Amino acid sequence: MGRWNRKTLLLCTALFVVLLLLPAILPRFYTYILASIFVTSLLAMSLNLVVGHGGLYQFHHCAFYGVSAYTVALLITKAHVPYWIAFGAGPLAAALVGFLIGWFCVRLSKLYFGMLQISLGSLIWALAFRWYSLTGGDDGIHGISMPDLISSTKNSYYFVLIVLTISLILMYIILKSPFGTTLQATRDNPERCEAVGINVRRHQLAALIISTFFAGVAGILYVVVEQSVFPDLLFWVFSLEIFIMCLLGGWFTFAGPIIGAAIMVSLRTFVGVYTEYWTLVLGVLLILLIFFLPEGVMGFVLDKFGTSATHRETGGSH
C-alpha cells in the first residue's frame, strides 16, 4: 500500500511537471482545450464528492458552478470590484446557495432529493435567463476583462492548472479525513451510521457545501478561460453531462471524473469538427459504457491493474 502510494505520488508529480511544460510546445488552441478540460475536471470532481463518495443524487450541480461564474462576471463588469475579491466571492456565493438548497434537499431521499434540486436549480436558471437588465439574458455576458497576469491563454492555463492542483489536493485530504470516511460510510449504510450516532444529514449537508464551494472554484476558472458567461452554464442538460463524466470516468475512484471530463470535452471538440451529430456519438458511447464498463474507465483500469482499494459495496441500489 505504501509503495503504491509513493508510486502514485511520483506519477502525479511527473504529470504535473509535464502539464506545466506543455504550453511551451502546444499550439494555442490545444492549450485552451486543455484548460477547458481542467475546468470541467474540477467541476466533475466536485460533483463526485457528493455523488460518488456521498451517494447523493445531485442532479443539478451546474447551478452552483453557474452561480459562481455569474457572481464573478457581474462583480467585475457591473460592480467593478477588484478581481481577487470577485474571485473570492464566486465560490462563497456558490457555497451559500449550496447551503440554502442543500438545507432543504438533505431531508429528502434519493430521487426526491434530485427532483427538488432540479426544480430549485431551474429557478436559478430561469432568473439568469430572464433577467436581461442584470444578466444579459440569453446572450450572457461577454468580454469580461481579466487581470493582466492571467489574461493570455498561456497564463490562464497556468492559473487554472495551479488552482486545479490545489483543489484536488484539498479534496483528497478531505476525503481521507475522518469526515470523508464517515461520509462514505453514510453512503454505504446510512441506517447503521444513524445507529452508531452519526448525524447523516449533517454530514451530507457539509459535503454538499464543500462540493458546491469547489464547483464555485470551477466557476471562476470558467470565467478566466472563456471570459464570458451565458445561461446554458446553469441548464439542467449540462448538469446531466457532468453526472455522466463522473460515471464515465469511474465514480467510485478519486480521479475517475477527470478522465470522464477529458473524454467528454475532447469528444465534443474533436468529434464536433467532423460531424454536427456529436451527441449521437456520445449517446452510443454511453450505451456501450453502460453495458461493458459499468464501473467507468478508471474503475476498469484499477480493477485490472490496480489495488483493490476501490472495492466497495454497491451503494444506492434500492
Partner 1 sequence: MEQGHTLTLAAFGSHLLVGLSRAMILFIVSSGLSFVLGVLRVPNVAHGSLYMIGAFAAYAVFTAVGGGSTGFWLALIAAPLVVAAVSFGAERSLFCRLYEREHLMLLLFTFALMLILDDLVKIIWGAEYRSIMAPDYLKGSIIVFGSSFPRYNLFLLAAGPVVAVALWLFTNKTKIGKIARAAAVDREMVGAVGINVSWVFAFAFVLGCFLAGLGGALVAPTVSITLGMDHDIIIEAFLIVTIGGLGNIWGAMVGSLIFGITQSFGVLLWPQFAIVFPYAAVVIVLLMRPTGLLKSVW
Residues making contact with partner 1 (CB under 8 A): 104, 107-108, 111-112, 114-116, 118-120, 122-123, 126-127, 129-132, 235-237, 240, 244, 247, 276-277, 279-280, 282-284, 286-287, 290-291, 294, 314, 316-318
Which residue matches cell numbers 436558471? 125
**Measured from the CB atom, is 91 or 256 closer to partner 1?**
256
- Let me know: does 259 contact 248? Beta carbons within 8 Å: yes
Nearest distance from C-beta of residue 292 to partner 1, angstroms: 12
Report d(CA 21, CA 158) in Å as an integer: 10
Nearest distance from C-beta of residue 44 to partner 1, angstroms: 15
Q: Nearest-CA neighbor of 75 among 219, 249, 196, 264?
A: 219
**Measured from the CB atom, is 17 or 123 closer to partner 1?**
123
**Measured from the CB atom, is 57 or 222 closer to partner 1?**
57
Report d(CA 221, CA 146) in Å as an integer: 11
Nearest distance from C-beta of residue 86 to partner 1, angstroms: 26
Q: Per the structure block, which three cell numbers stand in for 1?
A: 500500500
**Measured from the CB atom, is 88 or 232 closer to partner 1?**
232
Nearest distance from C-beta of residue 127 to partner 1, angstroms: 6
Distances (CA, A) of 284 to 82, 83, 234, 288, 290: 46, 42, 25, 6, 10
**Measured from the CB atom, is 124 or 160 closer to partner 1?**
124
Q: Following CA atoms 120, 234, 19, 266 in sequence, which dihedral angle do they give, to the nearest 10 degrees?
A: 120
* Radius of gyration, alpha carbons of the chain: 19
Nearest distance from C-beta of residue 105 to partner 1, angstroms: 9
> What is the sign of the dihedral through the CA atoms of 10, 14, 15 and 17?
positive
